[in-house]
A and B are shown apart, each in its own frame.
Chain A
Amino acid sequence: MSSLQLEIVTPEARVFTGSVRMVIVPGSEGGLGILPDHMPLMTEILPGEVIVTTDDGELSLAVGGGFLEVLPDRVSILTDMAIVEADIDEKAAEEAVARAEKEMSEKSLSGEEHAFVQAALLRSLAQLHVKRRRHR
């Protein structure tokens, strides 16, 4: 079976590299599962969960927005934020969600502030989502 080289990078670091069997990403047009020998593809991704299946098992990451590039033997994910499930600080994420929600409801934010807080909210929600799913 051919394998797939996955690379998840943020501007700050290379979060994940390695050979994987499958990767599931939250694409702008819906969830995408990518197997080896996928057709070359480029698309935007939304904040959410990336699930990586390797030979050793599954790994789950919370990602921010970004985009995805697929080549037959290679997948690259570029994103603002990528945190491995184990590293997510649930409490901090919860607080961030609460803070963002409060800001959204209380203050009348200008357009760009609103968008910024909303983006932060989505990122935090993505983290929480990834973390909680594991506990059930």
Chain B
Amino acid sequence: MANTRDIRRRIKSVKNTAQITKAMQMVAASKMRRAQQAALAGHPYSQILNRALVSLRDMVSADSHPLLEVRPVKKALVLLVTSDKGLCGALNTNVLREAALLDKDATEFVASGKKGASFLARTGRKMIADFALTDNPTFLQTKAISKFCLEKFLSGEVDRVDVLYPKFVNTLVQKPTQITLLPITDEKAAGVSSSGGDKVATETMGAQFLFEPDADEVLDSVLPYYFHFEVFQMILDARASEQSARMVAMKSATDNAKGLVKDLTLEYNKARQASITTELLEITTAQMALA
């Protein structure tokens, strides 16, 4: 049976760990709320952007813009969004498993997040850029990333741009998702990111827009914004996923630690009781021997 002092020491250390994981859980919870709010704050922007795209759609022919042009895919670019830090359960592992399935030779990677970058380096994949982001990325920061991808696409170096990121489904579920962003497919620009595209369309119906200088030029400036914004939203989404995965992981770590403390306490009490019993036994034996 283990020494009571050893057990006591162990209990103490597990309790300390529990305290740390508990603190991390709380921090992650508040960061998750902030990340979700940041994602929601983009809603008015996307609404207006969608409205503009709906109005523009009728004005220009669909394949008149290089960003809309579907080319045979010789090389694809994948923007791999992961977290910088670990301790967030299987979040990064799941995303990287998807990344591992991609064709090694026909895919170039742009990494955002240290975990993804080190994975790419480790497995010898072609990483053409690595962007570091803060916990609360701003639009201007993510724009640097999306601009980079955009230029690769426009220059013809790659024929498709995908994003692979942990999509936030709910607090417990984050699904690794791969979405093609470029070329901007017709139904996406038309379907207008699911939320009430038709309603928006009717709202502006009848308003015949004047475009200055002309529709093509305006489309030229609006479409990149659409792309920049999509990337921004996905990165925010990945942040929310990261924090909620961390929160859940830390919660289960805290629960585990608590269970362990309970078991160890039981063990400790047993050991203590055993030692008392032996001691009593010794005393009585000694007394009997004396008598």
A residues at B contact (CB < 8 Å): 7, 9-14, 27-29, 39-44, 66-67, 69, 71-72, 76, 78, 80-81, 112, 116
Contact = CB atoms under 8 A, between A and B. Distances in A.
Q: Main secondary structure on chain B at its contact with chain A? A: helix
A71 B207 contact: yes
B44 A80 contact: no
Contacts of B148: 112
B210 interface: yes
B107 to A, nearest CB: 21
Residue in A10, A29, A72 with the greatest tally of chain B CB atoms within 10 Å: A10
A118 B45 CA distance: 25
Given A44-B217, A66-B225, A67-B222, A112 B232 contact: no
Given A69-B51, A71-B207, 4 more contacts: A29-B212, A67-B52, A69-B48, A81-B140
Contacts of B143: 80
A10 B210 contact: no
B212 A40 contact: no
Contacts of A13: 41
Contacts of B221: 28, 44, 67
Given A13-B41, A41-B212, A116 B55 contact: no
B232 A11 contact: yes
A67 B42 contact: no
B147 A78 contact: no
A12 B143 CA distance: 13
Nearest to A81: B140
A42 B211 contact: yes
Contacts, number: 82
Given A7-B44, A14-B44, A40 B207 contact: yes
B21 to A, nearest CB: 31
Given A42-B55, A66-B225, A9 B207 contact: no
Contacts of B204: 40, 71
B37 to A, nearest CB: 10
A93 to B, nearest CB: 14
B135 to A, nearest CB: 14
A6 B247 CA distance: 40
A67 B225 contact: yes
A7 B232 CA distance: 21
B227 interface: no
Contact of B211 (A9, A43, A80): A43
Contacts of B233: 11
Contacts of A44: 217-218, 221
B139 interface: yes
Contacts of A66: 225
Contacts of B138: 12
A28 B229 CA distance: 21
Contacts of A67: 52, 218, 221-222, 225
A80 B228 CA distance: 10
Contacts of B140: 80-81
A12 B48 CA distance: 14
A39 B212 CA distance: 12
Contacts of B41: 11-14
Contacts of B229: 11
A115 to B, nearest CB: 8
B212 A7 contact: no
A68 B171 CA distance: 37
A10 B45 contact: yes
A12 B139 contact: yes
A68 to B, nearest CB: 9
